[in-house]
Amino acid sequence: MATATVSKDGQVTIPRTILERLGVAAGDKLDLWVNPKGELIIRKAGRDWRDLGGSLDRPVQRPITVEEMNEAIGRFHAEDNERILRESKP
């Protein structure tokens, strides 16, 4: 167990041993919350699914149909097969 002291400004320095166990380095962010037992939980902040909002939005590109996807996959496999045959010829 490690102990930390709260400063007069309400700041806490987390002991290096704890930071190392969490894999936290300078500039990293931490998630903090209190569980129902009143215990403080600290973890290294990671990407949350909510952080991904809008990352797939492509307004210039229209959605494609399943048929178009299947055609594209078929073309890829046909081209890949041709490449393999071409490269395997002496």
Q: Domain tally for the chain? A: 1
SS3 64: coil
Reported pTM: 0.46
* Within a domain: 47: no
- The better pLDDT of the pair 61, 29 is held by 29
Q: Is the pLDDT of residue 70 over 70?
A: yes
* Within a domain: 67: yes
* Within a domain: 16: no
Q: Which domain holds residue 75?
A: 60-88
* Within a domain: 77: yes
> Which 3-state string (H, E, C) describes 2-19?
CCCCECCCCCECCCHHHH
* Within a domain: 52: no
Return the H-helix or E-strand segment holding 31: strand 30-34
Half-sphere exposure of 57 (CA within 13 A, CB side): 5
* Within a domain: 65: yes
Distance from C-alpha of 83 to C-alpha of 75, rounded to nearest angstrom: 12
* Within a domain: 34: no
**pLDDT tens digit string along 5-30?**
999 999 999 999 999 998 898 988 89
